[in-house]
Copies of this chain bind each other. A is one copy, B any other.
Amino acid sequence: MDVHDLPTPCLVVDAGAFAANVATMAAARPGRALRPHVKAFKSTALARELARAGHDAFCCATPTEVVGMASVGLGADLLLANEVVDRRRLAAMVGSTLGARITVAVDSVETIAAAAASGVREVLIDVEVGMPRCGCDPAEAGALADAARAAGLGVRGVMGYEGHLMMEADGKAGKVEAAMARLLAAHDAVGGDVVSGGGTGTWDTNTWVTELQAGSYTLMDGDYARLDSPFRPALAVWATVVSANRAKGWAVADAGLKALATDHGPPTIDGATVWFCSDEHTTFSVAEGGALPAVGDRVALRPGHVDPTVALHERLHVVADDRVVDTWPVDLRGWDPRRP
């Protein structure tokens, strides 16, 4: 199928840019030195491409993602890099992933108790390294590891996410080092052989982790692309121009807030200025002297933030030379309690 025949709005992956991103990262972080974060793309088909590139350990954000990955045979080493206290959901996840290796992040006595009560066997101690989100204080990490072991859990090591530094422009290396010093101090107290952390924004500066939790590099955020980075934007939301107001100089494409995430700002369109997104539409203009597109023309919108954009769609269309060469279901969406 020609990409211009796809119904819009739809997600289009540039096969060449995707392959280059995967190869660049695999060269720098081969095999298990990378633990790709499934939350960025929520697709087992895309994950399989990463496994082919040598990465067979993955990071997940939800039990639904863990179960989905294990169900397609990608369960060699799955980290649920997120705190969960819902024991029914954890137990359902464990019961649905027999034969897979599952590790869960914990940062409190409550999350340790939930893991132990739900049949989880291994954990990482999640450490706060400067970002106001999950993770214990480094000084508490050793005691939590002791509590986890006392509850019968294996403690594989630590994780900590320096998310506040991903877009840092000045002195990034030093700030990442300081954040990772907190993680390494916790690791000294915890033990184990895993130090997990980092992301696409610190892929080359974070040299302290044993495994990098990057996922967005595969499709590459428009926002991340502002960084000096070898990763290329590989994802676009294709839309159709459904209205053009030549007198007033704007056109309207049929992709809006329900088709792309705007939390990192509105999408961009090459050669155009985006005015705003509403539920179903994006209004834009072209530079003075340029011609507005015709009604029926296609435009590619580059989303600022890949992860929540992909989660809005049911499939990713992989395109090379304007041909759709593959379709990857976005099969890890939602939090269905029936697919825990």
Binding site for B on A (CB under 8 A): 7-10, 39, 61-62, 82-86, 88-89, 107-108, 110-111, 128, 132-135, 137, 163, 240, 242-245, 247-248, 250, 252, 254, 257-259, 261-263, 275, 277-281, 283, 294-296, 305, 307-308, 311-314, 334-337
Choose one: B7, B39, B83; the contact of A279 (CB below 8 Å): B39
Q: What residue in chain B is nearest A87 (Cβ atoms)?
A: B296
Residue in A39, A107, A128, A133 whose Cβ sees the most chain B Cβ within 10 Å: A133
- Can you report 21 A-B residue pairs in the complex whose CB atoms are below 8 A from each other? A7-B88, A7-B89, A7-B337, A8-B335, A83-B243, A83-B252, A111-B295, A128-B248, A132-B245, A132-B248, A133-B283, A134-B242, A137-B245, A257-B261, A257-B263, A257-B307, A258-B308, A279-B307, A313-B334, A314-B334, A314-B336
- Chain copies in the assembly? 2
B250 contacts A132, C-beta separation under 8 Å: yes
Which chain B positions have C-beta within 8 A of A247? Answer: 137
Choose one: B85, B252, B257; the contact of A134 (CB below 8 Å): B252
Which chain B positions have C-beta within 8 A of A89? Answer: 7
Docked pose: A86 CA to B259 CA in angstroms:
17
A243 contacts B7, C-beta separation under 8 Å: no
Given contacts A61-B279, A281-B133, contact A312 B314 (CB under 8 A): no
Docked pose: A250 CA to B132 CA in angstroms:
7
Interface SS of chain A? loop
Which chain B positions have C-beta within 8 A of A257? Answer: 261, 263, 305, 307-308
A240 contacts B134, C-beta separation under 8 Å: no
Which chain B positions have C-beta within 8 A of A262? Answer: 263
A286 to chain B, nearest CB (A): 14
A335 contacts B133, C-beta separation under 8 Å: no
Residue in A107, A108, A243, A257 whose Cβ sees the most chain B Cβ within 10 Å: A243
The 6 closest A-B pairs by CB, nearest first: A83-B242, A110-B295, A134-B243, A257-B308, A7-B337, A258-B311
A82 contacts B336, C-beta separation under 8 Å: no
Docked pose: A240 CA to B335 CA in angstroms:
13
B132 contacts A39, C-beta separation under 8 Å: no
Which chain B positions have C-beta within 8 A of A261? Answer: 257
Which chain B positions have C-beta within 8 A of A88? Answer: 7
A85 to chain B, nearest CB (A): 5
Residue in A84, A108, A258 whose Cβ sees the most chain B Cβ within 10 Å: A258
